[in-house]
Amino acid sequence: MKMKNSNAFTLMELLLALSVSGFIIIGMMQGFRNTEKILSKSRSILQINRSVCLLFNQIERDFNTAIIPTIAKIEKTKDKKIEEKKIDEKKDKVNFFFAESTEEDEKIKIGEKKYEFFKRVSFVNTNPLQIWGQKRSKLVRVGYELVKNKHRSNRENISYDLYRKETFDLSNTAFKTKEAENLAQKEISAISKQLVATNIKGMFLEYGMPKPKDKDDLLLISEKQEEQQLELFSWGKIKETKNVVPQTVEMHIVFWDEGLKSEKMFSCSIPIFSYPTQKKQAEKKEDKKNEPAPQPRR
């Protein structure tokens, strides 16, 4: 007796088809997950790059315009030492024009150099955020401070936030809140605070300028000695840096990703346009005043 041919799949063929389909589906799912991870990482990098570009743009504008403001006119005396002493006393009343502090216990190695952990910086410039309706530039004290974010940090990793502070009270180097008696004093002593960056693992700043020409006159800088750089991680502590602005600022910032798992470093070098210092500029102005006035043509 002859058996009839069946058009249906056998159990073995069905199992084989399911196995091949399963491998294909698993491969497609894995490819989808990898693509999703790459897109998520790309979005995170683009977001960090955007934040860093905006941050560096604001910081660069602030540091570029850091200056030593004119304090008061000092009457000339025959004794230069007395005159210089009076100038120093006037400057000490205003405190540091450019001062920075670091966490000396925390350091990181970048290349072949160890950098100290940034804490805060304060300086005077002509770049206030509130400039609407103003015809003339105003002097403000600007500060940047790195603050630990307790909510985002964990036991293993620490995340910091970077704040920008601003006040018209140039003597308020620590940005402390002061009581004001009237509206005018309240406007001057008011402190504005903006969050400019988050998810920071570490921030490291190095300041540089040519070494002084003479030990007795630390504010005069020789153009011939520009190759001999004075490079420091803190500013305003030692005698060579008091009441002086640096010439360059080298900045390194390390950012976390959203999960505090991977990190990315960004670096930039910022020049300060007010360099050389005010004393040298004042001497140039004084020389111009002493020049004889041009005679009118006949």
Domain boundaries in the chain? 39-279
Which tokens sit at 123?
A: 């300086």
Structure confidence at residue 44 (pLDDT): 76
- Predicted structure pTM score: 0.69
- Give 128's pLDDT tier (boundaries 50, 70, 90): confident
Q: What is the pLDDT of residues 273-288, one digit of tens each?
A: 876 544 554 555 555 5
For the cut 50, the answer to whether the pLDDT of residue 68 exceeds it is: yes
3-state secondary structure the chain: CCCCCCCCCCHHHHHHHHHHHHHHHHHHHHHHHHHHHHHHHHHHHHHHHHHHHHHHHHHHHHHHCECCCCCCCCCCCCCHHHHHHHHHHHHHHHCCCEEEEEEEEEEEEECCEEEEEEEEEEEEECCCCCCCCCCCCCCEEEEEEEEECCCCCCCCCCCEEEEEEEECCCCCCCCCCCCCCCHHHHHHHCEEEEEEEEEEEEEEEEEEEECECCCCCCCCECHHHCCCEEEECCECCCHHHCCCCCCEEEEEEEEECCCCCCEEEEEEEEECCCCCCHHHHHHHHHHHHHCCCCCCCC
Q: What is the pLDDT of residues 13-58, one digit of tens each?
A: 888 888 888 889 988 888 888 888 888 878 877 877 888 888 999 9
- Rounded mean pLDDT of 81-102? 58
